[in-house]
């Protein structure tokens, strides 16, 4: 009985976690290519740092489900991207690309910025 319960719990966890695992296995290289091809960079910059034209997307991107939701049903100024234009798998690749973008240096580690206010 205990073994059956353990197996059942393990199977449930694997089932629940698999979309997340699939998201993490997106192809970052292809994601960058799609991000450039479909013009995300025009509003969000090539490294997703954001600008007046679009929000910050990286580092630490929002979960894949959030990116898919925004692309399929944008809240305001975002253009809408249908699955015919960009597939869920390609969005997973974009998510993987955004996840590879490192944190920028802190202002205190940039000498000219560290002098401000001193
Ligand atoms: C024409 C400019 C424009 C383009 C092109 C564009 N976006 Fe956006 N995006 C925005 C703006 C503006 C927002 C802020 C929310 C809104 O207005 O819908 C946004 C919001 C987002 C958000 C939600 C961010 C958050 O934290 O809530 C995501 C994710 C996103 N964009 C991803 C993308 C991706 C991926 C692409 C390319 C496939 C793309 N965007 C192309 C302008 C753009």
Taking only the tens place, the pLDDT of each residue in 44-58 is 999 999 999 999 999
Q: How far apart are CA 34 and CA 40, in angstroms?
A: 9
What is the predicted pLDDT for the residue at 44? 98
Query: pLDDT category, 15, cuts 50, 70, 90?
Result: very low
Q: How far apart are CA 94 and CA 107, in angstroms?
A: 28
- Pick 27 or 12 by higher pLDDT: 27
What is the predicted pLDDT for the residue at 4? 53
Q: How far does residue 79's CA lie from ligand 1's centre (Å)?
A: 7
What is the predicted pLDDT for the residue at 116? 72
Q: Cβ contacts of residue 39 below 8 Å, gap of 6+? A: none
Q: How far apart are CA 90 and CA 80, in angstroms?
A: 15
Q: How far does residue 25's CA lie from ligand 1's centre (Å)?
A: 22
21 close to 80: Cβ distance less than 8 angstroms:
no
Q: Per the structure block, which two tokens stand in for 77?
A: 């100024």
Residue whose CA lies nearest to ligand 1 atom number 23: 70
What is the predicted pLDDT for the residue at 24? 58
80 close to 73: Cβ distance less than 8 angstroms:
yes
Residue whose CA lies nearest to ligand 1 atom number 33: 40
Digit-coded pLDDT (tens) for 74-109: 999 899 999 999 999 999 999 999 999 999 898 889
What is the predicted pLDDT for the residue at 7? 46
- Pick 8 or 105 by higher pLDDT: 105
CA separation, residue 8 to residues 12, 87, 100 (Å): 6, 33, 35
Q: How far apart are CA 65 and CA 24, in angstroms?
A: 12
Ligand 1 probe mutation, 43, 49, 56, most atoms within 8 A of CB? 43
Instruction: Determine the atom of ligand 1 nearest the C-alpha atom of 94.
Output: 35
């Amino acid at each position: 009985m205990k073994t059956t319960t353990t197996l059942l719990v393990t199977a449930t966890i694997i089932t629940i976690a698999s979309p997340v695992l699939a998201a993490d296995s997106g192809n970052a290289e292809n994601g960058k290519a799609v991000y450039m091809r479909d013009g995300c960079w025009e509003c969000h910059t090539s490294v997703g740092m954001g600008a007046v034209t679009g929000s910050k997307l990286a580092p630490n991107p929002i979960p894949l489900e959030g990116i898919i939701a925004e692309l399929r049903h944008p809240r305001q100024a975002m253009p809408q991207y249908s699955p015919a234009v960009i597939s869920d798998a390609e969005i997973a690749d974009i998510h993987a690309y955004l996840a590879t973008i490192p944190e920028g240096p802190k202002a205190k580690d940039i000498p000219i910025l560290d002098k401000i206010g001193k």
